[in-house]
Chains A and B, each alone.
Chain A
Amino acid sequence: MKRRKRFAGVIALATGLLLSACATSANNSGGGASGAPTEEEKTPPKLTNCTNKMKNDAPQVSVWAWYPNMPNVVDNFNENHTDVQICWNNVGAGTDEYTKVQTAISAGKGLADVVMLEADRLSSFSIQNALVDLTPYGADEVKGNFRAGAWKDVTQGDKVFAIPVDGGPMGMIYRTDVFKKYQITPPATWDQYAAAAQKLKDAGGPHFGDLGSNVPALFMALQQQKGAVPFDYDPARPKDLTIKLNDQASKDVLNYWADLAKRGLVGTQDQFTTDYISGVVGGKYATYVSAAWTPGYLTGAGVGKGSSKGVWAAAPLPQWDTANPVSVNWGGSAFAVSTQAPSKRLAAIVAKGIYADPASLEEGWKKQIIFPLSKTVQDSPDFINNKSEFFNGQTANKDVYVPAGNAYKGTVYAPIQVYYYAQLQAQLAKIINGKTTGDQAADDLQAQIVKYAKSQGFNVTA
């Protein structure tokens, strides 16, 4: 009995210690948040657990990234630098990495010094004081290497939270064999797209495209193309957020795709799945509304081999108004510096220099791993006139992606972007299953997101 009491005492004591530890850490993080960036330069510790080998004894900066040619990119950087070395790990692509990033941010430790992020995630993490404003660390030195739209994507107000590498100007991939067989020409407008889809169905052809519920970022881009401006946010006023998800343009685009799906003109298969890829290979979809990185992704997934070899071509994204064409962007990535980095200065050198040397960039675009946002590459004749193997020798960069990238104006993303995507995905799934209309989906979405933003403490302008 006595023993039991003593044992209970131990538990109580441990619990008490734990609680006080929690309280302390909560205080610390609060203090860190409000504290000004008066940081003294700390010498970064020697890192273990790197996927790559160091080239010299310079201080090390840890990096998380998932580009397939990352080993070469890291070696290129390390060979060119005596002041800093990269210790790289791949902790997963996209969402897998973001889950770890978010956990490390919440824990207050464990995040790599430099992380690869897509532009639409930057404000979600920067609002948690997890990312370093790179303006004092020489972001302007490299600003000139990028076009205005690409730079705007990594900028919030007057702060720069990442250095871009890879972009996703949108275009339309189509199957020449299907188009030829059914005598269809690439649609220049969305009206023509719908008409061609109807024609294909009437002639007994396959689906013209695909409305996947799991590509909310793509649908946000398509809504922007018609003039929607979903969010406005400036970290200078961090509590103010403007949300406009149910304007006419947003509704029109949702209605347009809902209608195509209802009439059976497009498939409703989620993308990036085995089922979708097997459909793409098998000619189940005549077009793929997609981004500049898609050919590389499809090649990696096994499209463009065997029966689906040499049947692909790229065309500009269909427009709502050909007199005023609008270019939009889907995906692409950048390197941000974590506020957990012991030396922000060294981390910023890495963020600015990684995947920016000619050798890495050339491998990246030649193997279609990235669509480089570097102007040096985009302006080089080699890149512009490159005859794409996937597109059967078509100069897709010159015809489609470079003009689209140049015309892209940039996007403002919300700090609640992840939640917004999840809800948009749920609404798209409902549309696919005929449970809601485009109008209703947009209105519901607006109500949900406004409610959530308020619960997160934002002053919402709707």
Chain B
Amino acid sequence: MSYATAVETPSPPNQPTAPAVSTRRRSLNERKKARIGLLFVAPFALVFVAFLILPLVYAFYLSLYSKGLATGVVFAGVKNYATAFTDPSFLRGVWFVLRFAVVLIPVQMLVSLAVALVLDALTTRLARVARLMIFLPYAIPAVIGALMWGFLYSPTFGPMQQLAKIFGANAPFLLSPDLVFVGLMNVVTWQWAGYYMIIIYAALQGIDSSIYEAARMDGANSWQVAFRIKVPMVSSALLLILVFALIGTLQFFSEPQILRPLSNGTIGPDFTPNIYAFSQAFSYANFNYASAISFALGIVVFIAVYVFLFLTRKRGSIFT
């Protein structure tokens, strides 16, 4: 084993070897390595192409055609896209997810950052249990989580209503038109804050503790260590989860779709762009228009992420 490794290892430059042999061996090695590397990548590439690239290409192809119930399939070019970007249902959905992202993401990040900083500062067994507990909602499938919240929100037998009843009042229905924003935000924050917390926590663990020592020697207190050292040092992790959250929120689908039957009509078939695409495809049989909506949403996501990365380009180290 060790012998083989020794042979495979490229000779250090200072060792006197015949140059011709060295080049030949190196190129042979590299070609072999490349072949092995490709072999390792192949399973992923195959799945990636079959289940992501090809469906994308197909969806794009579909989006260029239009099919009316009474007309049949005709080539539409970019007409579907023009329709989408003037369709009030689509625009309302986009506007909703954009507003949702603007409010949700800071809340989510603050919660996860605060929890991660606290857990990083504590080293008791309690901290380990708390870490698991906070992470747990992420381990619960989104569908089950949303269903569960649906029951908690129930105006008939939900715990909030039970509590309010004691005082002879009615609890607010968190899926009513005025409150659905808050109701959904609560579900999503609950679901994802733990996951983001783990990412930040892992980044915090990676910081060399000698830096803290140096700071303390310079007279920094715990707050200063947290905000002047820890937060700046995990900023790339923060940026990462920001981008994750942004993309995820713009593609908002599962939670509102699950809560739809419980919302008394608040969550309609065009509540978010993805729900609208789903309704168009599977309820109204407009697969072509649905593909166009999906791509149009993709364009919106791309622009949003690009604008965001542009604004934060100085700090972002992993994306630039």
| A binding-site residues for B, Cβ under 8 Å | 3, 7, 11, 14-15, 18-19, 22, 26, 29-30, 33, 95, 98-99, 102-103, 105-106, 124, 127-128, 212-214, 238-239, 241, 268-270, 272-275, 278-279, 415-416, 418-419, 422, 425-426, 428-429, 432-433, 435, 455-458
Contacts of A14 in B (CB 8 A): 49, 54
- Give the Cβ gap from B28 to chain A, nearest Cβ, in Å: 15
> Which residues of B from 124 to 175 have beta carbons under 8 Å from A?
151, 154-157
User: Which listed residue, A99, A124, A238, touches B282 by the CB 8 Å rule?
Assistant: A99
- Give the Cβ gap from A105 to chain B, nearest Cβ, in Å: 7
Instruction: Please determine whether A426 and B54 come into contact, CB atoms closer than 8 angstroms.
Output: no
User: Which listed residue, B61, B151, B283, touches A422 by the CB 8 Å rule?
Assistant: B283
Instruction: Please determine whether B285 and A268 come into contact, CB atoms closer than 8 angstroms.
Output: no
CA distance A29 to B266 in the complex (A): 38
> Please, how many residues of chain B have a CB less than 8 angstroms from a CB on the other chain?
38
Instruction: Please determine whether A425 and B57 come into contact, CB atoms closer than 8 angstroms.
Output: no
21 A-B contacts (beta carbon < 8 Å): A11-B53, A15-B53, A19-B57, A33-B72, A95-B283, A99-B282, A102-B285, A128-B69, A212-B264, A213-B264, A214-B265, A238-B70, A270-B265, A274-B156, A275-B154, A416-B69, A422-B284, A425-B268, A429-B264, A429-B266, A456-B70
A3-B38, A102-B283 given; A457·B69 CB < 8 A? yes
Instruction: Please determine whether A433 and B177 come into contact, CB atoms closer than 8 angstroms.
Output: yes
Contacts of A127 in B (CB 8 A): 69-70
Instruction: Please determine whether A426 and B265 come into contact, CB atoms closer than 8 angstroms.
Output: yes
Instruction: Please determine whether B69 and A458 come into contact, CB atoms closer than 8 angstroms.
Output: yes
CA distance A279 to B155 in the complex (A): 10
A99-B282, A273-B261, A433-B177 given; A457·B71 CB < 8 A? yes
CA distance A415 to B70 in the complex (A): 9
Instruction: Please determine whether B176 and A433 come into contact, CB atoms closer than 8 angstroms.
Output: yes
> Which residues of B from 38 to 71 have beta carbons under 8 Å from A?
38, 45, 49, 53-54, 57-58, 61, 65, 68-71
- Give the Cβ gap from A57 to chain B, nearest Cβ, in Å: 37
Residue B303 interfacial (CB < 8 Å): no
Contact with A along B202-245 (1 / 0, CB 8 A): 00000000000000000000000000000000000000000000
Contacts of B154 in A (CB 8 A): 274-275
Minimal Cβ-Cβ distance residue in B for A123: B69
Instruction: Please determine whether A432 and B264 come into contact, CB atoms closer than 8 angstroms.
Output: yes
A3-B38, A106-B285, A274-B154 given; A426·B268 CB < 8 A? yes
CA distance A22 to B60 in the complex (A): 12
Instruction: Please determine whether A214 and B261 come into contact, CB atoms closer than 8 angstroms.
Output: yes
Residue picked from B176, B264, B283, most chain A C-beta under 10 Å: B264
CA distance A127 to B45 in the complex (A): 41
Contacts of B176 in A (CB 8 A): 433
Residue B256 interfacial (CB < 8 Å): no
Instruction: Please determine whether B265 and A429 come into contact, CB atoms closer than 8 angstroms.
Output: yes
CA distance A214 to B72 in the complex (A): 31
Contacts of B156 in A (CB 8 A): 274-275, 278-279
CA distance A455 to B284 in the complex (A): 13
- Give the Cβ gap from A128 to chain B, nearest Cβ, in Å: 7
| B binding-site residues for A, Cβ under 8 Å | 34, 38, 45, 49, 53-54, 57-58, 61, 65, 68-73, 83, 151, 154-157, 176-177, 261-266, 268-269, 279, 282-285, 287
- Give the Cβ gap from A271 to chain B, nearest Cβ, in Å: 10
Contacts of A102 in B (CB 8 A): 282-283, 285
Minimal Cβ-Cβ distance residue in A for B70: A457
- Give the Cβ gap from B282 to chain A, nearest Cβ, in Å: 5
Contacts of A435 in B (CB 8 A): 177
- Give the Cβ gap from B183 to chain A, nearest Cβ, in Å: 15
Instruction: Please determine whether A273 and B54 come into contact, CB atoms closer than 8 angstroms.
Output: no
- Give the Cβ gap from A14 to chain B, nearest Cβ, in Å: 7
Contacts of A428 in B (CB 8 A): 265
User: Which listed residue, A30, A279, A422, touches B279 by the CB 8 Å rule?
Assistant: A422
Given contacts A102-B285, A105-B285, A415-B69, 6 further A-B pairs with CB under 8 A are A18-B58, A273-B262, A274-B154, A275-B156, A429-B265, A429-B268
A127-B69, A128-B285, A456-B69 given; A22·B58 CB < 8 A? yes
Contacts of A457 in B (CB 8 A): 68-71
Minimal Cβ-Cβ distance residue in B for A105: B285
Contacts of B49 in A (CB 8 A): 11, 14
Contacts of B68 in A (CB 8 A): 455-458
Instruction: Please determine whether B265 and A3 come into contact, CB atoms closer than 8 angstroms.
Output: no
CA distance A81 to B151 in the complex (A): 47
Minimal Cβ-Cβ distance residue in B for A21: B58
Contacts of A272 in B (CB 8 A): 261
User: Which listed residue, B61, B65, B157, B263, touches A19 by the CB 8 Å rule?
Assistant: B61
A14-B49, A30-B73 given; A419·B284 CB < 8 A? yes
Contacts of B54 in A (CB 8 A): 14-15, 18
Contacts of B71 in A (CB 8 A): 456-457
CA distance A241 to B287 in the complex (A): 22
Please list the 5 inter-chain residue pairs (A to B) with the smallest Cβ-Cβ separation, ordered nearest first.
Answer: A429-B265, A457-B71, A213-B265, A457-B68, A457-B70
CA distance A69 to B222 in the complex (A): 68
- Give the Cβ gap from A9 to chain B, nearest Cβ, in Å: 13
A11-B53, A18-B54, A422-B279 given; A268·B264 CB < 8 A? yes
Contacts of A274 in B (CB 8 A): 151, 154, 156-157
CA distance A274 to B38 in the complex (A): 54
Minimal Cβ-Cβ distance residue in A for B287: A106
Minimal Cβ-Cβ distance residue in A for B267: A429
User: Which listed residue, B65, B264, B269, B283, touches A270 by the CB 8 Å rule?
Assistant: B264
CA distance A268 to B175 in the complex (A): 13
CA distance A311 to B279 in the complex (A): 40
CA distance A18 to B265 in the complex (A): 40
Contacts of A419 in B (CB 8 A): 283-284
CA distance A274 to B83 in the complex (A): 38
Minimal Cβ-Cβ distance residue in A for B71: A457
CA distance A178 to B37 in the complex (A): 76
Instruction: Please determine whether A239 and B70 come into contact, CB atoms closer than 8 angstroms.
Output: yes
CA distance A458 to B71 in the complex (A): 8
- Give the Cβ gap from A106 to chain B, nearest Cβ, in Å: 6
Contacts of A238 in B (CB 8 A): 70
User: Which listed residue, A15, A29, A241, A432, touches B57 by the CB 8 Å rule?
Assistant: A15
